[in-house]
Structure 1
């Protein structure tokens, strides 16, 4: 990547099979807790995926002090529970009068690993931030850092949360 061009990555939410792009939440829970169709006149339609859905490239150093290019999506939110993957598309965005590719040509696409979005009641808690997240924060990226895991305990039904330093931090619940 040189100074005459820029690259942009866009993100889309896909179903658990990675086939269908999900645009709108199927159901929305209103303040009384009743579920309504997202197409109801009384219910505001909310995008299933929100936040900044495009990112420009950022040059940073990895944990081995090597230069790398990343695309940062600090505020992505999936508003419906289920199993999903994200689909990323890389676009070329030339600067003024660039003789290279035409603007907004899609260069590549890739799907993320599948992940689970939990309901508030089922959410198992959060793990400590990864060393890479902490390293990127030290380079100026705004990432919320957690220094300890906070996982729910299941010995009672009150949903209590406790610090859990002894649990496997690489576990994918």
Structure 2
């Protein structure tokens, strides 16, 4: 896992005019705890869309800017303005692959436009809920933290990718000309999007997914895991 973090807001330019001292905000970083493993490409129709599994779960960590110690008590913290965006990137983290042409070719706005593609509008390669709000959830160790759950993501095309997560605070938009700056980012581990014929199946529901589902997060849980295990055991005994 790679993470980029820095304190916010950025320090103001030095000048000789007296300035009101701004409160020191904590340093923030993203921790991708549950990484995507596989996906079934859905092509350019939305009727047979399958979600990436397991659903990515990202934790926001906050640190005291002076001591560097993690601030673990988030019970009284207002997270209503915290948000997370996600983009689809190449596995080597060099190319944003969030847009694709109907031919399956990745669309890069920085590239020169081919005359044959000039009138073709690119579409989203990563579809679903690409923006998430923050939740205060307890993990498997019963520790409360700030979490973002991306349970509704699908990929249109086959290939190997990474997800790039970026954290923002909407409260900063009031002091940044209406735009909220990205405060930190992190990449997931690489995962593969398979064609329907090659897709090996959805990953079994993880303990972390079950933990968050029990707290009200709408994560699809495979209820037949234990039943299938019992069937395999009975079958083995009868052989």
If the length of structure 2 is used for normalisation, what is the TM-score? 0.51
Q: When you count helix as a share of all residues, which structure comes out higher?
A: 2
* Native 8 Å contact 2:101 2:122 kept in 1: no
* Count of matched residue pairs: 141
User: Is 1:91 aligned to residue 168 of structure 2?
Assistant: yes
How far apart are residue 72 of structure 1 and its match?
A: 1.6
Structure 1 95/109 Cα, relative in aligned 2: closer, same or farther at 3 Å? closer
* Native 8 Å contact 2:173 2:181 kept in 1: no
Q: Please give the secondary structure, in 1, of the residue aligned with 2:170.
A: strand
CA distance in 1, matches of 2:173, 2:96: 33
Aligned residue in 1 for 2:212: 136
How far apart are residue 16 of structure 1 and its match?
A: 2.1
Structure 1 40/126 Cα, relative in aligned 2: closer, same or farther at 3 Å? farther
Higher relative contact order (CA 8 A, sep 6+): 2
Structure 1 164/5 Cα, relative in aligned 2: closer, same or farther at 3 Å? closer
How far apart are residue 40 of structure 1 and its match?
A: 9.1
Mind listing any 5+ residue stretches in structure 1 that lack a counterpart? 30-38, 150-162, 167-173
- More deviation in 138-147 or 45-54? 45-54
Aligned residue in 1 for 2:128: 51
If the length of structure 1 is used for normalisation, what is the TM-score? 0.69
User: Is 1:72 aligned to residue 149 of structure 2?
Assistant: yes
* Native 8 Å contact 1:15 1:21 kept in 2: yes
* Native 8 Å contact 2:80 2:133 kept in 1: no
* Native 8 Å contact 1:7 1:91 kept in 2: yes
CA distance in 2, matches of 1:115, 1:90: 21
User: Is 1:19 aligned to residue 103 of structure 2?
Assistant: no
CA distance in 2, matches of 1:4, 1:79: 32
Q: When you count strand as a share of all residues, which structure comes out higher?
A: 1
CA-to-aligned-CA distance 1:119-160 (integer Å, 9 cap, x gap): 0010011232011111111100001111456xxxxxxxxxxx
